[in-house]
Amino acid sequence: MRNSLKLFTLFLLVTVLSVACGGRGGDDLLADIQERGTIRVSTDANYEPQSFLDASGNFVGFDIDVAREIARRLNVQVEFVTPDWDLITAGNWGGQWDMSVGSMTVTRDRQQVLDFASPAYYYTPAQFAAANGSGINSWADIAGKTVCVGSATTYQQWLEGDVAGLGLPDSSFYTTPPANVTVYPLATDAECAQSIAAGRTEFSIFLTSGTVVNAAIAEGLGIYKVGTAAYSENLAVAFDKNSSLDNSTLVARVSEIIAEMHADGTLSRLSLQWFGEDLTVDPTK
């Protein structure tokens, strides 16, 4: 009985200490990831060439390769999850994933709920594109039109006039939003071009990343670019500020890895592979 009581007391002590330390990995998210051997990464399954599914159902793309390289340098495996974009940008992930490698633009609003690795891992132009035969040939022609965007994106925010809220440097903006447009949001940017190709008529122009436009044109979806870039976006790896485990060491380590990938040419190589151009140089510097 005495031995049993000692064992029970020891069990209670271990349990209390485990709870007090936050369980596996203590209260540190990076330690938890390394102990479990897997990092959960949110991304988009319909955002070619950044991230999409190939014919075999495997994740491929620029963001996918960046996430895999980060995981490799952390000495862990990567697991991809695909929540809706507005859930990712809203923060409060509830531990369902550890970081987002999903071409997210750093903005003031997002910095209220998310932490970002620094530096950004690449930069893209925001580009208008229109359906063949739409008659839209310049920025002036966009005024008063219905413009498709991905929901909860910087494209929607910019078109709706919240330029200050984007939190981008003034040098990143090359024009002002067209007047009197009606914003038509879909779940993802890529669906705008796909909807035009499918014959939808609610809109004939959309705003997205120039890389998505290039991919849609290469795929033969019947669209063309309108004007030059509207503004430039700085895209970074994101983390939940309200994570139940402390993310500070994970943010710091991933920031170091991104800097290393810039310095050793990994990001430039991946950009050339997926975009046909190097988008890893900050255009504002």
pLDDT in tens, 246-272: 999 999 999 999 999 999 999 999 999
E strand or H helix at 229, and its extent? Answer: strand 223-240
Tell me: the pLDDT tens digits for 126-170? 999 999 999 999 989 999 999 999 999 999 999 999 988 888 878
Whether the CB-CB separation of 236 and 262 falls below 8 Å is answered with no
b/e for 191-201, b at 16 or more Cβ within 10 A?
Answer: bbbbbbeeebe
- How far is the CA of 250 from the CAs of 7, 34, 116, 156, in angstroms? 37, 10, 11, 30
* Lowest pLDDT segment from 70-74, 103-107, 150-154, 166-170: 166-170
216 vs 218: CA distance, rounded Å: 5
170 vs 175: CA distance, rounded Å: 11
Mean pLDDT of 178-199: 94
Bridge partners, residue 123, by sequence: 234
Which pLDDT value is given to residue 41?
98
236 vs 100: CA distance, rounded Å: 9
46 vs 57: CA distance, rounded Å: 12
The contacts of residue 257 (CB under 8 Å, 6+ apart) are: 69, 70, 73, 74
- Helix ranges (H only) for 113-178 are 139-142, 154-159, 163-166
Whether the CB-CB separation of 63 and 236 falls below 8 Å is answered with no
Which domains can be identified in the chain, with CATH numbers? 2-107+236-275 (3.40.190.10), 123-233 (3.40.190.10)
137 vs 140: CA distance, rounded Å: 8
